[in-house]
Amino acid sequence: MKLLWIALALALFTGFANPTIDASSMESLAKSAKEVKASLNDSEAKELDKALMYYSLKALQSKTTDWNSDEESEAAVQEAMSELSGLTGQEVLKRYRAERDSSKS
């Protein structure tokens, strides 16, 4: 019984949830994307790279403003990525696949 409590306590401290995207800053976005990728298998990790690139480019294309600085482009990407904040790798991939498939139709 004691081992059960120890296992439960360890699970609570390490968390049950998969890592999620954190778009609160570019640094946290990069760090969390790396953690999310590590939680996926190889093919899903490669697809996640494509998904993140897709959302980054979508953000840059949606702005009609000329980019005056790297900060402006980073801000646009961060703003677009904020819609992915809190999502796991599987959730990002599900959303990406749905958008990709709907654009093919």
Tokens found for residue 73: 């482009």
18, 22, 38: which is closest to 84 by C-alpha?
Answer: 22
Note if the pTM is more than 0.95: no
19, 23, 22, 20: which is closest to 77 by C-alpha?
Answer: 23
26, 30, 27: which is closest to 74 by C-alpha?
Answer: 26
79, 81, 80: which is closest to 21 by C-alpha?
Answer: 81
In this predicted structure, the answer to whether residue 82 has a pLDDT above a threshold of 80 is: yes
Q: How confident is the model at residue 11 (pLDDT cuts 50, 70, 90)?
A: low
